[in-house]
Structure 1
Amino acid sequence: MNVIKLLAVILFILMSSIGGKKGVTSFLALFLNFGVIFVAILFMQNVKSLITLTLVACTLISCINLFYINKFNHKTLATFISLIITLAILLSFIFIIEHHAMIQGFGEEEEEEISGFSLYIGIAFAKVTICTIIMGTIGAIIDISLSIASSMNELVVHTPLISKKNLFRSGMKIGTDILGTTTNTLYFAFIGGYLTLILWFKKLSYSFGDIINSKIFSSEVISILSGGIGVAIIIPITAWMSATILFKGRER
């Protein structure tokens, strides 16, 4: 048994023992999400709009993470609607940033590795960059949105007489409390994934200006900042949407 299989077995045992049935469902959802992304990559050369394909894939991933794992209820519905609104806002922002930052394609540090390959693959690298940022953002905004909606749902269950205004304020307070940790998660994910790149920059005596203007470094930093902006945007949207849906559900 190789390392990957061993780690997968350990993960399954832990998720099933701690999370029970939902833990098993969450474990299976990992493979479903991988399947969606894999199929999306296969179709990228056969569709005209990569961004539309990516949005469809993100929608399917959202449905798996929300409705498959946590069932269809008020909190998952509020999260899904908030996610769609946030993606619509964030997409227009990402278009502008990508156009002015010019981060598409490969950096000069990668030229030697790809020198023997043709870059005429029939796909616009600018669109691939936008798709990459969207894919990298979706996980973080689903996580924080569901955390807020779930907490607000528990608040309604245990405090049924709470007003809609106070419920919204509680949602905002919950969101601001976890805002810093979520953005730091994006940052540490970058550090963990690109630590060797940073050490390589240091070994080659890159100046601070060279690092900042490096296409590889800039594209990852922009992805982190875009994810952070998405996380910040979705907090008030989720708080308002959850307060509206949960309040109506309580009245019924």
Structure 2
Amino acid sequence: MVSRVKDYIRSAETKRIIFSIIILALYSVVLCFFNSNIEKTPLINSEGKTYAKAEVVEIINENAAEAGERAGSQKVLLEIKSGQYKGERLEAYSTDGYLYGADSEVGMTVMAVISESNGEKVVSVGGVYRGGAVVLILVLFLLSIWIIGGRKGLLAVISLVFTLVTIVGLFLPMIYRGVSPFLSAVISCVITTAVCMPLIGGMSKKTAASIFASVAGVIIAGILAFLFGKLTDVSGYNVSEIDELMFIAANTDIQVGELLFAGILIASMGAVMDVAMSVVTAVEEIHIKNPEMSARELFVSGMKVGNDTMGTMSNTLILAFVGSSINTLVTIYAYDYPMMYTMNLYSTCIEIIRGISGSMGVVFAVPIAAAASSFLYGARRRSDMQAEIV
């Protein structure tokens, strides 16, 4: 038993896991230092306002009516479960709308919004408390990867956490500091790819080729999105959230116009990495089974594998973007807008640009991955042939 534990600790994957955790910890510390001097401009007056977890202990009165969905207002008594008012019982108003408030019931856990001014507290129910459920969902997801994937799964979890840390700790702060969102997305994608792929696959020719193909594919997707935007006269200023974004831009250094294209880079990164790794892995396996194959033959074989992967991953990206815009599609279908009008809507053009540019990044990643891997694995045969000639 002891020897098995020692073998487990000494294994290459276990050492990689330990090394990865150390790298993730150091990376997080560096980003915390990087963001320590950011001073955010207050966009709303939050003085005296706090948020707390609370439990509904009594329905004092209500003015609610059944209208398909229960709607109306309630006066409730809350027991605060967190924050500076923990333990206090406060009266609150709860408006049950589609986006805000909650249909409060005794025993329900809610998010309380407490505003205090001159000793007076005004309390409202912001909505159902979902923090615990969200954490549970995330834990189940990460545990599923770990349990099913074993040590490889744990490495995948670490790489996923690294990606999230990069987006939250590097990408968003860079944008807030006034750095070009497109450039911020490129830097974030390069760092994420250059770190996550070695975590999962180790340092090898396969990893090097995958990194090169992934970065190239993502950058191509971003450039095409930018060109398609110019062609259709669409930019980040034409998104549905533009009013809020313009208010933010007026008070910060954020460059709103490039956010759309930066988002496309981030969204396409996962699919491009998947395709690149699949093609390079296939070329590596073919090379191992037949090391005499030339670089050209390896490239052709890689393209055959990539063609199948390319189709499925393009579908994945397109369907992901379609799913995210299903409300817009239902609205267009229900109102029966003419095709000419539909094709000229900003929302339609934006979703088409997102889907097509991301898919084209996947498409171009296939030949790049096949070429890079065939060049690296075919290099040995070229050197052997040169040695024989000499």
Same fold (TM over 0.5): yes
Which structure 2 residues correspond to residues 196-211 of structure 1 after superposition, within 5 A? Answer: 196-211=327-342
Which of 155, 159, 178 aligns to 1:25? It is: 155
- Residue by residue over 1:154-181, the C-alpha shift from the partner in whole angstroms, topping out at 9 and shown as x without a partner, is 1112222323222111101001111111
SS in 2 for 1:44: helix
- In structure 1, distance between residues paired with 2:245 and 2:305: 50
Letter in 2 for 1:7: I
- In structure 1, distance between residues paired with 2:239 and 2:148: 46
Which of 219, 225, 230 aligns to 2:350? It is: 219
Alignment check: 8 A CA contact 1:78 1:149 kept: yes
Task: Kindly report the root-mean-square deviation, in angstroms, between the aligned alpha carbons of the 2 structures.
Answer: 2.6
Identity %: 23
Runs of 4+, deviation exceeding 6 Å: none
CA deviation after TM superposition for structure 1 residue 249, in Å: 5.1
- In structure 2, distance between residues paired with 1:203 and 1:58: 39
- In structure 1, distance between residues paired with 2:366 and 2:245: 44
Letter in 1 for 2:299: F
- In structure 2, distance between residues paired with 1:49 and 1:159: 47
- In structure 2, distance between residues paired with 1:93 and 1:54: 15
Q: TM-score, with normalisation over the residues of structure 2?
A: 0.58
Provide structure 2 residue ranges, at least 5 long, that are not aligned to the other structure: 1-130, 385-390
Alignment check: 8 A CA contact 1:145 1:238 kept: yes
Which residue is 2:85 aligned to? none
1:133/1:106 Cα in 2 relative to 1: closer, same or farther (>3 Å)?
same
CA deviation after TM superposition for structure 1 residue 110, in Å: 5.2
Letter in 2 for 1:23: G
Which structure 2 residues correspond to residues 132-147 of structure 1 after superposition, within 5 A? Answer: 132-147=263-278
Q: TM-score, with normalisation over the residues of structure 1?
A: 0.87
1:13 aligns with 2:119: no
Which residue is 2:287 aligned to? 156
Higher strand fraction: Structure 1 or Structure 2?
A: 2
Which of 256, 268, 279 aligns to 1:125? It is: 256
Which residue is 1:184 aligned to? 315
Provide structure 1 residue ranges, at least 5 long, that are not aligned to the other structure: none
- In structure 2, distance between residues paired with 1:70 and 1:115: 39
Which structure 2 residues correspond to residues 48-197 of structure 1 after superposition, within 5 A? Answer: 48-105=179-236, 107=238, 114=244, 117=247, 120=250, 121-197=252-328
Higher-Rg member (1/2): 2
Further displaced range: 71-80 or 81-90: 81-90
Q: How many residues are treated as equivalent by the alignment?
A: 251
1:4 aligns with 2:142: no
